[in-house]
């Protein structure tokens, strides 16, 4: 059945006003749609109406401010917007627990609110990360409420710090369809984006997100083990990874770099998702089990390396350059840097830190002295550990900073400073490079 002739005349409601929802709403508005942003948190909506965003993403505030000024984007906490909408996006950031297991309670609550209020011709888009089979269950709920099974699953492609580009210029758009009759509407929504839509079943779309992130996690764990081997035998992991990326069967953009492994909340979430699917199906997931185990061991790298340098960390001061989940964002949620710091701070160790995006102390991590400058963090320290690849760190005068340190040691866990001359007095350690 054909309901729509021109998508640009239709209204889109995006539910869930955090990272995913805000980026989705802003980008859809940029494409020319009329967007209403819905969240049931009145305080959050109030702040958004005043131009206060709960997260930082490069270019996002400017894009939202422009759309608000033109009237193409607005905020509400009222569910009355749902029956007025032609498309309803479920775009909540899906939380995980300490074991990286998805918590779907916020998604379930949103679905329970949305479905009874949907018009008969409205389309639901599931963008939140959900386990395989979730969308099929939502279709069943639609039928139970006498609504057509007009639902598609478009797994989020959110990359913190690069989210807008990833939405507007994706490599491809994965679309799971509940029914082939809604394919044309999805094509209309993304007609302003030059990317191929890959249409498939709902379960296949859900699985594709799990599979992608699990593959990326596998490559990162692989890189960690190769890095360890390089250090032991005297090879240079940077050169080895470069050689791999120049191979046509690999890729220049493959996530194979010497480093620390991956933090929780994204890659680990999807690996855990596939492991749970395997467990329920009675299948072993030996490779995925190993990926998580390797990553767990990889997180001990910094502590082990510092111990190998100093013998003991008792009474030492360690300065960390970088706290955020990644460069280009201010989020600390599931930050690998913070997880590493927690390991090191167990004993009599003083921790200082500097991050361009973090101003002031972190209440839940009060043992970290957050400095206003890199020089302040490094003062009287025994070592600097670089844990986030901010460009700013490349331009620092490390020879000058070293004068304020007790011992001029730099552990570059991102290999960010490779090739930079820092002076002969600094002992520099990269990842995957032999120092014997």
Q: Kindly write down the DSSP assignment for every residue of 188-204, as one continuous string.
A: HHTTTS-S-EEEEEHHH
Give the domains, in start order, of the chain with CATH numbers: 7-195 (3.40.50.720), 210-298 (1.10.1040.10), 301-430 (3.40.50.720)
pLDDT digits (tens, 9 = 90+) for 153-185: 999 998 988 999 999 999 999 999 999 999 999
pLDDT at 266: 84
Q: Which helix or strand (DSSP H or E) is residue 338 part of?
A: helix 336-344
- pLDDT score recorded for residue 247: 95
The residue ranges of the chain whose pLDDT is under 70 are 1-8, 264, 434-436
pLDDT in tens, 72-94: 999 999 999 999 999 999 999 99
Reduced 3-state DSSP string for 213-282: HHHHHHHHHHHHHHHHHHHHHCCEHHHHHHHHHCCCCCCCCCCCCCCCCCCCCCHHHHHHHHHHHHHHHC
In whole angstroms, give the CA distance from residue 289 to residue 210.
14
Which of 149, 275, 132 is CA-nearest to residue 206? 132
| pLDDT at 2 (0 to 100) | 45
């Amino acid at each position: 059945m054909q309901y729509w002739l021109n998508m640009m005349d239709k209204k889109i409601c995006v539910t869930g006003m955090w990272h995913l929802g805000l980026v989705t709403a802003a980008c859809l508005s940029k494409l020319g749609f009329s967007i209403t942003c819905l969240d049931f948190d009145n305080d959050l909506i109030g702040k958004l109406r005043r131009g206060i965003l709960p997260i930082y993403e490069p270019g996002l505030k400017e894009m939202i401010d422009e759309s608000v000024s033109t009237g193409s984007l607005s905020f509400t906490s009222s569910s009355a917007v749902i029956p007025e909408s032609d498309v309803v996006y479920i775009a909540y950031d899906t939380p995980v627990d300490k074991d990286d297991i998805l918590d779907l309670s916020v998604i379930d609550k949103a679905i329970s609110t949305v479905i009874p209020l949907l018009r008969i011709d409205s389309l639901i888009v599931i963008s939140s990360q959900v386990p395989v089979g979730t969308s099929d269950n939502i279709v069943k709920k639609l039928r139970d409420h006498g609504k057509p099974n007009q639902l598609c699953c478009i797994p989020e492609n959110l990359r913190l710090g690069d989210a807008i580009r990833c939405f507007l210029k994706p490599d491809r758009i994965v679309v799971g369809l509940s029914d082939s009759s809604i394919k044309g509407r999805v094509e209309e929504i993304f007609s302003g984006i030059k990317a191929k839509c890959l249409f498939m079943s709902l379960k296949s779309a859900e699985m594709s997100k799990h599979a992608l992130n699990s593959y990326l996690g596998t490559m990162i764990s692989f890189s960690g083990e190769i890095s360890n081997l390089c250090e032991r035998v005297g090879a240079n992991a940077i050169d080895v990874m470069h050689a791999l990326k120049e191979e046509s069967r690999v890729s220049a953009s493959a996530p194979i770099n010497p480093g620390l492994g991956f933090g929780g909340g994204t890659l680990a979430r999807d690996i855990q998702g596939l492991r749970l699917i395997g467990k329920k199906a009675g299948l072993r997931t030996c490779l995925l089990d190993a990926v998580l185990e390797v990553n767990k061991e990889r997180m001990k790298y910094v502590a082990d390396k510092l111990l190998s340098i100093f013998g003991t960390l008792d009474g030492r001061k360690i300065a960390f350059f970088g706290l955020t989940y990644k460069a280009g964002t201010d989020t600390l949620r599931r930050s690998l840097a913070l997880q590493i710091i927690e390991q090191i701070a167990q004993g009599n160790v003083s921790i200082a830190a500097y991050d361009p995006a973090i101003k002031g102390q972190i209440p839940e991590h009060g043992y970290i002295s957050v400095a206003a400058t890199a020089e302040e963090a490094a003062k009287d320290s025994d070592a600097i550990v670089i844990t986030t690849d901010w460009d700013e760190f490349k331009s620092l005068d490390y020879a000058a900073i070293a004068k304020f340190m007790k011992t001029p040691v730099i552990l570059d866990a991102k290999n960010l400073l490779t090739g930079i001359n820092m002076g002969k007095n600094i002992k520099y350690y990269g990842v995957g490079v032999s120092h014997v």
